[in-house]
Amino acid sequence: MNRLQTVRNDIHNQFHSSLAGPQYFYKPENANAYAAYYTAMYLIQDTSEALYAHMARGFSSDAMFAYIEFWGVMQAIEIQQDAINELHTAVVGCAPPPPAKASAWNRLRDKRHLLAGHPAKRKFGLQAPQRTFMGRSFGTYASIKYEMYDAQSSKRTHPTFNLRQMIDEYDAEATQLLDDVLDTMKSRWPL
Question: pLDDT at position 6, please?
Answer: 97
Closest CA to 72 of 96, 94, 55: 55
- The pTM (predicted TM-score) of the whole model is 0.92
Question: pLDDT at position 169, please?
Answer: 97
Question: pLDDT at position 130, please?
Answer: 87
CB proximity list for 186: less than 8 A, separation 6 or greater: 14
- pLDDT of 51 > 80? The answer is yes
CB proximity list for 67: less than 8 A, separation 6 or greater: 134, 136, 138
Question: pLDDT at position 21, please?
Answer: 86
Question: pLDDT at position 1, please?
Answer: 80
Question: pLDDT at position 136, please?
Answer: 84
- pLDDT of 155 > 80? The answer is yes
Question: pLDDT at position 113, please?
Answer: 86
Question: pLDDT at position 91, please?
Answer: 96
70 pLDDT band, cuts 50/70/90, is: very high
Instruction: Say what the alpha-carbon torsion angle 25, 94, 166, 51 is, to the nearest 10 degrees.
Output: 20
Give the residue-averaged pLDDT of 18-26: 89
Q: How far is CA 101 from CA 65, 98, 110, 180, 183, in A?
A: 32, 9, 10, 20, 25
Chain segment 121-151, per-residue pLDDT in tens: 777 778 888 889 888 889 999 999 999 999 9
